[in-house]
C-alpha cells in the first residue's frame, strides 16, 4: 500500500469516526457532511473525494456496524469450548447487549428507525446483516445435531410458519438449515432486541434495578427451556 493509499485509508476512517461521534451527540438522523468537514478542519467539498454522497457514507457506517457486531459475536462464540452449546449461546447473547450498550447509536442505525431520505442498497446491507444472525444459527444447528437442543412441541409448530429455507456453511459445504433452528433463532432475536431497545430508550429505567442481570436471567430461562445448559 503506497503512502498515498495509506493516507486515504486514514481519512476514510477518520470521516466515519467523526460521523459516529456526531450520531452519538445528535442521533442517527443528523449525520451531516458539513458538520464532519468542520470537525476535520477541511473544506466541505473535500469529503466528496472519499464518499461520493451522504448516502454512501451512511451505507459505510451501516456495514461497519453490522460487521463489528458480527465480529463481536463470533469472538464471544469462540471464547467457549465448542461442545458447550448453551454457554456459547449465552456468551454471544451477552456480547450482543454489551455491544449495543457500548455503541447505542450503531445499534439504532441498524435496528432503529430508518434515516429520512436514505435508501439502503439491500444488495450490500443484507449479507452484512445476515452475518451476525448466522453465528447464532450455526450454534443452534450444532446443538440440535448433538442432541443438546431439545425443541418443545410448540417450537416445532412455530417452525412451520417460517417462510424461507436458509443455508449454513458446515465444513465448506452448504447445508439446509432445519426450520426449527431458524424459528428459535428468530425467537431469541426479537426477545434480545426488544429488551435492549426498551433499555436503550430508557423505558425500563424506573422498573428494572440491574438491566444487565435482568437480561441475562431472562435469556438463561429461555435457553434452559430449550434444554440448553448454561
Segment interacting with its own copies (CB under 8 A) among 1-9, 60-68, 87-95, 200-208: 200-208
CB of 100 to its own copies, least distance (A): 13
Name the one residue in this structure whose C-alpha cell is 476512517.
13
119: left (phi over 0), alpha (psi -120 to 50) or beta: beta
- Cα Rg of the chain (Å, integer): 20
* Binding track over 28-67 against DNA, x by CB under 7 A: ---xxxxx--x---xxxxx-xxx--xxx------------
Nearer to DNA, 38 or 203 (CB): 38
Q: Which of 114, 127, 170, 174: binder of its own copies (CB under 8 A)?
A: 114
Instruction: Choose among 19, 25, 27, 28: nearest CA to 51.
Output: 19
Segment interacting with its own copies (CB under 8 A) among 5-13, 23-31, 58-66, 138-146: 23-31
The residue ranges of DSSP E strands in 20-98, in sequence order, are: none
**Cα-based torsion angle of the residue sequence 211, 185, 157, 162 in order, rounded to the nearest 10 degrees:** 130
Tell me, what DSSP letter sits at residue 112?
A: S
- Work out what residue 34 binds among its own copies, DNA, none; the CB cut-off runs from 5 to 8 Å by kind: DNA
Nearer to DNA, 10 or 156 (CB): 10
State how far the Cα of 187 lies from the Cα of 189, in Å rounded to an integer: 5
Burial of 187 (0-12, 13-18, 19+ CB in 10 A): middle
**Residues touching its own copies: how many (CB under 8 A)?**
46
Work out whether 190 is an interface residue with its own copies (CB under 8 A): yes
Q: Which residues are at the interface with its own copies (CB under 8 A)?
A: 26-30, 108, 111-117, 129, 154, 157-158, 161-164, 182, 186-187, 189-195, 197-198, 201, 203-204, 206-210, 213-214, 217-218, 221
Amino acid at each position: 500500500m503506497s503512502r498515498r493509499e495509506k493516507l486515504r485509508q486514514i481519512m476514510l476512517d477518520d470521516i466515519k469516526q467523526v460521523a459516529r461521534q456526531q450520531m452519538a451527540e445528535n442521533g442517527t438522523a443528523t449525520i451531516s457532511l458539513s458538520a464532519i468537514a468542520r470537525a476535520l478542519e477541511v473544506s466541505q467539498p473535500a469529503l466528496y473525494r472519499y464518499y461520493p454522497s451522504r448516502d454512501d457514507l451512511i451505507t459505510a457506517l451501516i456495514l461497519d456496524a453490522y460487521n463489528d457486531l458480527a465480529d463481536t459475536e463470533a469472538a464471544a462464540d469462540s471464547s467457549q469450548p465448542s461442545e458447550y452449546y448453551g454457554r456459547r449461546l449465552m456468551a454471544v447473547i451477552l456480547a450482543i447487549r454489551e455491544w449495543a450498550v457500548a455503541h447505542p447509536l450503531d445499534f439504532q442505525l441498524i435496528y432503529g428507525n430508518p434515516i429520512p431520505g436514505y435508501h439502503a442498497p439491500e444488495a450490500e446491507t443484507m449479507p452484512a446483516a445476515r452475518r451476525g444472525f448466522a453465528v447464532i444459527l450455526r450454534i443452534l444447528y450444532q446443538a440440535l445435531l448433538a442432541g443438546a437442543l431439545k425443541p418443545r412441541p410448540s417450537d416445532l409448530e412455530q417452525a412451520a410458519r417460517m417462510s424461507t429455507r436458509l443455508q449454513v456453511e458446515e465444513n465448506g459445504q452448504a447445508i439446509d438449515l432445519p426450520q426449527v433452528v431458524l424459528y428459535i433463532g428468530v425467537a431469541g432475536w426479537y426477545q434480545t432486541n426488544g429488551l435492549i431497545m426498551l433499555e436503550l430508550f430508557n423505558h425500563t429505567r424506573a422498573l428494572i434495578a440491574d438491566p444487565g442481570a435482568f437480561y441475562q436471567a431472562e435469556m438463561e430461562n429461555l435457553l434452559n427451556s430449550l434444554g440448553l445448559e448454561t
